[in-house]
Amino acid sequence: MGATFEIGLIGLGKMGGFMRERMRKGGLTVIGYDRNQDISDAKSLDDLVSQLSAPRKVWVMVPAGDPTRQVIEQLGELLAPGDVVVDGGNSKYTDDQVHAAKLGEKNIGFVDAGVSGGVWGLKNGYALMVGGDVKHVSLVQPAFDVLKPAGDFGFVHAGKVGAGHFAKMVHNGIEYGMMQAYAEGYELLAAVDVVDDVPAIFKSWREGTVIRSWLLDLLDNALSADPTLDKVRGYADDSGEGRWTIEAAIDHAVPLPVITASLFARFASRQEESPAMKVVASLRNQFGGHAILPETAAGSQTGEGTGATAGATDHKH
């Protein structure tokens, strides 16, 4: 590695593009690749790799599943022993173990990174939960240090390969439960005649209460813009991570009644209008920039995924 830390970044959509900008502002050299050549720094994955000094660090920010698998397989053919691949998308933790094993056959390291922060990450920093061998994590640490929020919190080396995405999966499950609790509280407050100003109640809770949180701040933002949420359709999609959290709970016989109920509530939102789901839809727009469907529109919204495709400029959680 030269005097300046270098890293490749594949997938320059909403989140990947902001991450590139934050790392560059932090003094790092970032070579980005996206199939949209208008925003790409490299013409191809091969070109990206050729611009990096050994040991190469390449961060993948594409959707989980086949897109991630295909990119990692290509990198396995292009990188050399001693290089490291970081999967910063919303991959299932079991996929991480497969990717690490395949890259390990060629002595290429692998780190899984759960990333939270959404559209606010450029300004506030990204919460990072990573898994992998210490030597591989250490190679990428300068990038983690710049991406994380200022201060003592926001980064954890959670354990071996898969631990980062497992931690992010549970994080998203907790997020489901918190959003649902706020949403149900909103619906009850709005249903009674004795309460005159529901948005003012949520605003008052932002200080001095035990339920204050960033999500509450974002809900206040949403209600300030649309006090009765008339512009929002009460439809909320779910990401794979919410379902994977419940699957893992079943596998390990861990009861998750709140998180499970919050997932099922999203299913209900697709069957009929729900004031509570309008809150969830608004919060997802506030923290992740996910589209809000008009009141009369049909269809679905995107999930909470943090990644962006290498061929698209817009994309979790």
How many Å from the N-terminal Cα to the C-terminal Cα in the chain?
32
Q: Exactly one of 175, 241, 278, 316 is catalytic; which is it?
A: 175
Mean pLDDT per 10-residue segment, the chain (317 residues): 82 95 98 96 97 97 94 97 97 96 98 93 96 98 98 97 97 95 96 97 98 96 95 84 92 95 87 78 89 62 35 36
Catalytic annotation present for 175: yes
Q: Exactly one of 57, 92, 148, 168 is catalytic; which is it?
A: 168
Catalytic annotation present for 148: no
Write the DSSP assignment of 65-94 as a string of letters: THHHHHHHHHHHHH--TT-EEEE-S---HH
